[in-house]
Amino acid sequence: MSTSMLRNNIALRAALRTAAPQATKAFSTTAPTRALATLPDLPYDYGALEPAISGRIMELHHTKHHQTYVTNYNTVQSQITDALSAGDTAAAIALQPALTFHGGGNLNHTLFFENLAPKNQGGGQPPSGPLAKSIETHYGSFEKMKTQFVAALAGIQGSGWAWLVQDNETGALGIRQYANQDPVVGKFSPLLGIDAWEHAYYLQYENRKAEYFKEIWGVINWKVAEARMK
């Protein structure tokens, strides 16, 4: 079309503009709000997981360790949001390890406490539905899966977690180690996590972590793990 037509024809230009495809907005243009985390309650008493995990450990783990991750996650997320609103990209990027650590700590502990249960709430009951089938497919048997899970836990060098995960593309199960508070994100979905940080067991098991990795199976909530499957 001749440019002189567009230059002289306001109506034509307006019509073209309206007909142009709208750029898809991938984000909200309203002001961001803060979604401050709060410490979720446990669905059981602190002492309810004994003798696998002592009441003192559960109380400290929840009210001190998890609470601190919640508090610090809220601080860090606010700092990041503020940095981004002020256009301070460098500051936001510098805060990312802290977000991974505290945000990951909050995610991990939330999932962990949910995937534990007292015996009288089904803790320790092996899975029976689709998760049981998938475990058999990928590991041969529930016992073989446990053996690999325990090996993964025992092999952590430093602080970390082992998770039964599901591959988001293939649906396949896997067992993976995550260092420090790195959360299960990206390629995998977390199904069941076990905390291998020393604070998770030291008051009761001291250096005998192999015992903890053996006893904890008695309080695993496989129903919750199965519900996390996709």
CB of 202 to a second copy, least distance (A): 5
Q: Is 65 marked as binding a ligand?
A: no
Judged by CB under 8 A, the residue of 97, 126, 129, 130 near a second copy is 97
Single out the residue of 7, 13, 133, 199 in contact with a second copy (rule: CB under 8 A): 199
Q: How many residues bind to a second copy according to rule CB under 8 A?
A: 20
DSSP state of 179: E
Helix axes 67-85, 104-114, angle to 10 degrees: 140
Tell whether residue 88 is among the known ligand binding residues.
no
Phi, psi of 161 (to 5 degrees): -135, 155
Omega within 30 of 0 (cis) for the link into 21: no
Q: For a second copy, which residue of 180, 215, 223, 229 counts as binding (CB under 8 A)?
A: 180
Considering beta carbons, is residue 135 or 162 the nearer one to a second copy? 162
Among residues 50, 198, 215, 226, the one that binds a second copy under rule CB under 8 A: 198
Whether 62 and 113 have beta carbons less than 8 Å apart is answered as yes
Token code pair at residue 129 = 């539905």
Residue 211 binding a second copy, by CB under 8 A? no
Which of positions 67-96 make contact with a second copy (CB under 8 A)? 68
- Spatial neighbors of 216 by CB under 8 A, at least 6 apart, are 52, 53, 116, 194
User: Do the Cβ atoms of 149 and 115 come closer than 8 Å?
Assistant: no
Residues 144-173, one symbol each (x = binds a second copy by CB under 8 A, - = not), give -------------xxxx-------------
- C-alpha to C-alpha distance for 160 and 182, rounded to whole angstroms: 8
Q: Which residues here bind a second copy, judged by CB under 8 A?
A: 60, 64-65, 68, 97, 101, 157-160, 179-181, 197-199, 202-203, 206-207
Binding region for Mn(2+): 61, 109, 195, 199
